[in-house]
Amino acid sequence: MKKMFASLLALSMVLVGCGGDGGDSASSSKPEIVMLTDKGTIDDKSFNQGTYEGVKAYAEKNGIDCTYIKPVDATTDEYNNSIDQAVKSGAKVVVCPGYLFEESIYIKQTEYPDVKFILIDGNPHDASYEDYKTEKNTIGITFQEEQSGYLAGYAAVKDGNTSLGFMGGQAVPAVMNFGYGYVQGANDAAKELGITVKMKYHYTGGFSATPEIQTKASSWYKDGVTIVFGCGGSVGNSVMAAAEASNPAGKVIGVDVDQSSESDTVVTSAYKRLGDAVQKALESIYSGDFDKTDDTSIQFRGGQNIVLGAKDGDVGLPLETSKFDKFTEADYNAIYDKIVDGSVTIKNNKDAESPNDLNCSNVDLTIEN
Amino acid sequence: MSDILFLFQQTMFFFIPLLIVALGGLFSERSGIINIALEGMMIIGAFAGIFFIHFFQQSMDPQICLLVALLIAGLSGTLFALFHAIASINMKADQTISGTALNMFAPAFCIFVARLVQQTQQVEFSNTFRITKVPVLGDIPFIGEFLFQNTYITNFLGILILVLSWLILYKTRFGLRLRSCGELPQAADSAGINVYKIRYAGTLISGFLAGMGGLIFIVPTSTNFNADVAGYGFLALAVLIFGQWKPWHIAGAAFFFGFMKTIASAGLPFLASLSIPNYFYKITPYVATLIVLAFTSKNSAAPRAEGEPFDKGKR
């Protein structure tokens, strides 16, 4: 009796859980596309959600079943288990957003050669970072976040801000890239204007909203910082809270997706088009292009680690919701074109140990720990 | 001057919630029930309160809205504390286990309900509760600037709760009974006091205060509630211990914790030249707690019967 009750309870939880994600795609038949979430949740308004929206959009358009799994814990072992679970339940494509999956996919891509793996924000490698290997059934997609951050920094300075802040979450590659780009963008804009700008730079070490972050951001705004790039999940929400309470109100730059709806203080967002990239990868898989691994004219093909950036239109600022005073669409297009044609090169976290090594003479950088 | 003002006002964001939640813990522990579920109660309280604000803030005066939300937060915290009370008083369960269970349950429950109601787990709100200047009082030089400008109604509420807690615990018959149940419940029982009732009262008051504290914690800190109070319930436990289970000491401890947290984040303008690393300020409250614990371990002020289920027959 007890056992029956327990299993009934478990079943009802599963069913309600599926209803809760807003899609009717789960549960009924076997889902072919399965996404795993990394540390965040499926509706984090950022990384995981952005990816899943892409998966869902493609699946709905083509009548394919999709679902997601939230691994019990953010460890390679648990990720492996979740991949096993997905494949056993019939998944043909496994989508994994986050560099945390690099090791799991390195292991599982050989174990399941018939399953396709899409890894976002990372390239598969072994535990010791010695062997990098992307099999024919796998594609690794990374973004040039530094370009997005660059545009944000450039726009902020061109718009009249002379004292800036960068509030990053944990110092993971994507966050660092955003930050490095931000510093370099501010530097180039300051050079063009013939001025020097000040910037405070800090990693909070986490991705949640805390009074510590609110206090730090408040102290920045009080010291004359006018705009802060809140870069890392809920960290941005504490920065927004501080910006709203400051007198005069501060400005905030959002991250990953267009965050203008979260607070009036958000003037623009440095986005990367996660959803688009996932959709393109899925299209390539279902059209069969993915398997033509030797055809270099196909960008999204198996065995590749591809880098998406301004040249594909996958990073940038959402101008339609941005609130700039002086920075115009023409200015934006001009600098965007320069990034695309390569006349502006931007260093990322592989090129420099710390933002101090970026040689930005027009930015007076203060790194706070 | 403006630097000190800024630090003082930022300290309030740490001080007031820590104070209220630690006082909540005080009521429960002085009645003999260990309450490590403060974190969970904060989460439930904040969740209910923010949910109310989310739906009703457009149609109400902000201050009234906040007060109603605080009441709702407190009541939902009370309701949540009821589980702890039933488990540890009626069922005589291990109080740490029951508290841990509630701490695990709270965030999961909030995420589940939020998703069910609105598809996303973050509950959004906009902070319209800041009082730029209290009329008349805000014009008093110096004091007005510190206490009655850029403030929240919750700051005054926190101080009121502190005074009330002290009055209740030390100046009323109920307070004496509550404290006696935490020290030697058998003696209290022989004097005709219903230990079960008193312990229920202590635990429920604790839930009420912790629930309110959760909402007070979230309002100035973020623009949405994501089933998380960043471990401040556990920090409040440390404050309770550092304050040696006495209301005024707890206030001092909460202010010390809050001030250290503030200068760790904002920096001290006049100490900047010393270039003391931030980590120093960050660890200070914890090191201080450890030292206090080490030195008071022999005659600790912890309630003697804390954590023991009441057994009438025991002597």
Residues A56 and A92 in one domain: yes
- pLDDT given at position B265: 85
| Count of domains for chain B | 1
B260: its two tokens: 């250290």
- Both A149 and A175 in one domain: the answer is yes
What 3-state DSSP class applies to A368?
strand
* Subunit contact B265:A215, Cβ cutoff 8 A: yes
Among A41, A219, A263, whose Cβ lies nearest the Cβ of B267?
A219
B88 belongs to a structural domain: yes
Confidence grade of residue A10 (pLDDT, cut at 50, 70, 90) = low
- Rounded-to-10 torsion of CA B202, B207, B212, B218: 140
Whether residues A89 and A167 share a domain: the answer is no
Is there a domain that residue B200 lies in? yes
Q: Is residue B211 part of a domain?
A: yes
Q: Are A160 and A54 members of one domain?
A: no
Local confidence band at A3 (pLDDT 50, 70, 90 cut-offs): low
Percentage with pLDDT > 90 across chain A: 62
CB contact under 8 A, A215 and B130: no
A140 within a domain of the structure (yes/no)? no
**CATH value at residue A281:** 3.40.50.2300
For B106-134, the pLDDT digits (tens) are: 999 998 999 899 888 889 998 889 988 88
CATH number at residue B86: 1.10.3470
Is B261 in contact with A211 (Cβ distance < 8 A)?
A: yes
Q: Using the predicted structure, report yes or no on whether residue A16 has a pLDDT greater than 50.
A: no
Closest Cβ opposite residue A214 in set B112, B115, B221 = B221
Which residues of chain A from 224 to 253 reach within 8 Å of chain B, CB to CB? 234, 237-238, 240-241, 244-245, 247
Residues A213, A161, single domain; the answer is yes
Question: Per-residue pLDDT averaged across A288-303, rounded?
Answer: 88
**Is residue B302 included in any domain, yes or no?**
no
Torsion of CA B213, B215, B220, B224, to 10 degrees: 150
ipTM of the shown complex: 0.85
* Residue A203, beta-bridge partner list: A168
Count residue pairs from A and B with Cβ separation < 8 A. Answer: 97
pTM for the model: 0.85
Q: Which domain holds residue B148?
A: 2-296
The alpha carbon of residue A296 is apart from the nearest alpha carbon of chain B, in Å, by 41
Domain of residue A177: give its range: 145-271+315-368
* Same domain (yes/no): A158, A287: no
Q: What mean pLDDT, rounded, does chain B reach? A: 91
Same domain, A267 and A281: no
Distance from CA of B69 to the nearest CA of A (A): 19
Note whether A222 contacts B: Cβ–Cβ < 8 A. Answer: yes
* Chain A nearest-CA residue for B121: A43
Is residue A149 domain-resident? yes
Q: How far is B229 from chain A (nearest CA, A)?
A: 8
Mean pLDDT of B152-162: 95
In a domain, A130, yes or no: yes
Contact residues on chain B for A367, CB-CB shorter than 8 A? none
Q: How confident is the model at residue A45 (pLDDT cuts 50, 70, 90)?
A: confident
pLDDT band for position A20 (cuts 50, 70, 90): very low
With a cut of 70, say whether residue B49 has pLDDT above it: yes
Most B CBs within 10 A among A201, A212, A225, hence the mutation to make, goes to: A212
CB within 8 Å: A41 and B111 = yes
Percent of chain B with pLDDT over 90: 63
8 A C-beta contact, residue B174 and residue B199: no
For residue A66, give how far its alpha carbon lies from the nearest alpha carbon of chain B (Å). Answer: 18
Number of neighbouring beta carbons within 10 Å of residue B174: 13
Average pLDDT of every residue of chain A: 88
Domain count for chain A, please give it: 2
> B223 vs A241: CB contact, 8 Å cut-off?
yes
Asked if A262 lies within 8 A of B226 by C-beta distance, the reply is: no
